[in-house]
Chain A
């Protein structure tokens, strides 16, 4: 069983479209994250949720909206896609507590054309 699963793995879409990426974790973790990794491998946190509550929102354009319907899911919806949104998006989860590790999904490669 995959601990943190994201769908889709690849997403190619045109500029201006709206798309969603889904993430589910079966680890019972309280905290979930979205990261963006650009072409230079720079990995930046976008959002973090703890028990369905937003705790980190790192200067991400309003076109990006996370949704956490329950503790096990954190979806990412992106409106009006732009070329610069092309990247690999990673979902992750971790237990609460200061000394805990995170588990990452396999990533979603988004290409905006």
Chain B
């Protein structure tokens, strides 16, 4: 059965705007990770947040984690055309990836 999902399924924004996407999961976790997938490529790790952390930053990325609601959000600030990709969340080791991701399109 599916362990979680990303929301929204698709997002279209103007270059320079922020993009926010969410991930919900069903079981308790040790960590949650976000990955990016460019068209026709494999997933690339972006950021990992541990279950005892509430927020984490990496460059233009900000991740939050609410274990009481079993949800996480990924914020990309000042988006660029190169941010156009699908974004997936995943948990734990061994790694389980959720859903179909959020497809982000950044318009020039």
- Interface size class, chain B: 20 to 34
Choose the segment among B11-19, B20-28, B40-48, B62-70 that binds chain A (4+ C-beta atoms closer than 8 Å): B40-48
Whether the pair A98, B94 counts as a contact (CB closer than 8 A) is no
Which of these, A43, A98, A99, A103, contacts B97 with CB under 8 Å?
Answer: A43
Task: Mark out the residues of chain A between 55 and 106 whose CB falls within 8 Å of any chain B CB in the assembled complex.
Answer: 55-56, 90, 92, 94, 96-106
Query: Could you tell me the distance between the alpha carbons of A44 and B88 in the complex, rounded to whole angstroms?
Result: 12
Chain A positions within 8 Å of B, measured between CB atoms, are 4, 31, 33, 35, 40-45, 48, 50, 55-56, 90, 92, 94, 96-107
Whether the pair B50, A107 counts as a contact (CB closer than 8 A) is no
Q: A101-B33, A104-B42 are in contact. Are A56 and B97 (CB under 8 A)?
A: no
Query: Could you tell me the distance between the alpha carbons of A6 and B44 in the complex, rounded to whole angstroms?
Result: 16
Whether the pair A99, B50 counts as a contact (CB closer than 8 A) is yes
Provide the B28-46 mask, 1 if CB < 8 A to any CB of A, else 0.
0011010100001111110
